[in-house]
Amino acid sequence: MTLATKRKIGFGLGILVLLLGVALGVFLLKRQELLTYALRQVKARVERKYPVTLTLGPARFTDLNTVQIEGMSLVPRAQTNDTLLRARLMTVALSVRSLFAGRPVFSNLEISDARLTARKTARSDNYSFLYRKKGPQPAVPRDTTQGTNYALLANQVLEASFDNVPGQADFRNFLITYDSPRHRARITMPRLAIEDGDITGQLTAVVDSVENRVGVQGHIEPGDYALNAEVFGLDRRPVVLPYVLRRYGARVQFDTLRFSLADKELNDDELTVRGTASAANFIVNHPKLSDRDVRFPRGGIDFVARLGQAFAALDKGTKVTLNRMEFFPVISIRKLPLNQRVTGRDVNGLRNRRETMAGMQVKADIRSAETAANTFFAALPEGMFNTLEGMRGEGTLTYNMHFALDMNQLDSLQFNSGLTPKNFRITRFGRENLNKLNEEFLYTAYNDKGDSIKTFAVGPSNPEFVSYRDVSPYLKAAIMTAEDPRFLNHKGFMEKAFVKSAIQNIKEKRFARGGSTISMQLVKNVFLTRQKTVTRKVEEALIVWLLENTRLVPKERMFEVYLNIIEWGPKKYGVSEAAEFYFSKSPADLNLSESLYLASIIPRPKYYQRSFNNYGEMRSSARYFHRLIADLMVRKGLIGQNDRESLTYNLSFPGPAHGSIFRAVRPDTTRTVLAADSAQFEPLNLIDLLGGAAPDEGVNTNTTPPAEEPTPKP
Looking at residue 357, what is its pLDDT? 47
**pLDDT 10s digits, 57-107:** 998 888 877 889 999 999 988 776 788 999 999 998 877 666 666 666 677
Confidence class for position 697, pLDDT limits 50, 70, 90: very low
Looking at residue 89, what is its pLDDT? 93
Looking at residue 246, what is its pLDDT? 83
2-16, 328-342, 511-525: the lowest-pLDDT one: 2-16
Average pLDDT of the chain, as a whole number = 82
Looking at residue 146, what is its pLDDT? 65
SS3 131: coil
**pLDDT 10s digits, 420-455:** 999 999 999 999 999 999 999 999 998 877 788 999
Q: Which position has the higher pLDDT, 121 or 579?
A: 579
8-17, 23-32, 85-94, 478-487: the lowest-pLDDT one: 23-32
Looking at residue 96, what is its pLDDT? 65
Rounded Cα distance, 592 and 594, in Å: 6
Q: How many CA atoms, within 13 angstroms, populate the side-chain half-sphere of residue 177? A: 9
Q: Which amino acid is at 666?
A: R
Looking at residue 356, what is its pLDDT? 45
Looking at residue 698, what is its pLDDT? 33
Looking at residue 268, what is its pLDDT? 84
**Distance linking the first and last C-alpha atoms of the chain:** 141
- Nearest residue to 543 (alpha-carbon basis) of 386, 689, 339: 386
Confidence class for position 713, pLDDT limits 50, 70, 90: very low
**What are the strands, taking DSSP E only, across 448-500?**
452-458
- CB proximity list for 545: less than 8 A, separation 6 or greater: 418, 419, 491, 492, 493
- Nearest residue to 700 (alpha-carbon basis) of 626, 610, 600, 624: 600
437-446, 555-564, 669-678: the lowest-pLDDT one: 669-678
Q: Are strands 52-56 and 311-314 parallel, antiparallel or unpaired?
A: unpaired
Q: Is residue 312 predicted with pLDDT exceeding 90?
A: yes
Q: Which percentage of the chain shows pLDDT scores above 70? A: 79
Q: Is residue 131 predicted with pLDDT exceeding 70?
A: no
∠ CA 79-85-89 to the nearest 5 degrees?
A: 140
Rounded Cα distance, 343 and 337, in Å: 18
421-425, 582-586, 702-706: the lowest-pLDDT one: 702-706
Q: Is residue 510 predicted with pLDDT exceeding 50?
A: yes
Q: Is residue 21 predicted with pLDDT exceeding 60?
A: no
Looking at residue 100, what is its pLDDT? 60
Q: 154: buried, middle or exposed (CB in 10 Å: 19+, 13-18, 0-12)?
A: middle
∠ CA 556-560-562 to the nearest 5 degrees?
A: 115
Confidence class for position 516, pLDDT limits 50, 70, 90: confident
Which ranges constitute the DSSP H helices of 453-494?
Answer: 473-483
Q: How many CA atoms, within 13 angstroms, populate the side-chain half-sphere of residue 396? A: 9
Confidence class for position 705, pLDDT limits 50, 70, 90: very low
CB 599 within 8 A of CB 452: no
Looking at residue 26, what is its pLDDT? 52
Rounded Cα distance, 581 and 573, in Å: 10
123-137, 238-252, 543-557: the lowest-pLDDT one: 123-137
Q: Is residue 158 predicted with pLDDT exceeding 80?
A: yes
- CB proximity list for 277: less than 8 A, separation 6 or greater: 257, 258, 259, 260, 300, 301, 303
Looking at residue 198, what is its pLDDT? 94
- CA–centroid distance for 685 within its chain: 29
CA distances from 310 to 24, 34, 187, 242, 306 (A): 60, 51, 32, 26, 11
Angle between helices 473-483 and 592-600 (to 10 degrees): 40
**pLDDT 10s digits, 221-230:** 988 899 999 9
Looking at residue 20, what is its pLDDT? 61
Q: Which amino acid is at 690?
A: L
Rounded Cα distance, 574 and 578, in Å: 6
Mean predicted confidence (pLDDT) in 297-307: 95
Confidence class for position 592, pLDDT limits 50, 70, 90: very high
Rounded Cα distance, 174 and 191, in Å: 7
Confidence class for position 493, pLDDT limits 50, 70, 90: confident
Mean predicted confidence (pLDDT) in 496-521: 71
Residue 636 has phi, psi (to 5 degrees) of -90, 0
Q: 624: buried, middle or exposed (CB in 10 Å: 19+, 13-18, 0-12)?
A: middle
Q: Is residue 576 predicted with pLDDT exceeding 90?
A: yes
**pLDDT 10s digits, 606-665:** 888 888 887 778 899 999 999 999 999 999 999 999 999 989 888 888 989 888 887 643
DSSP annotation of 132 reads S
Confidence class for position 575, pLDDT limits 50, 70, 90: very high
Looking at residue 139, what is its pLDDT? 41
CB 565 within 8 A of CB 525: yes
- CB proximity list for 143: less than 8 A, separation 6 or greater: none
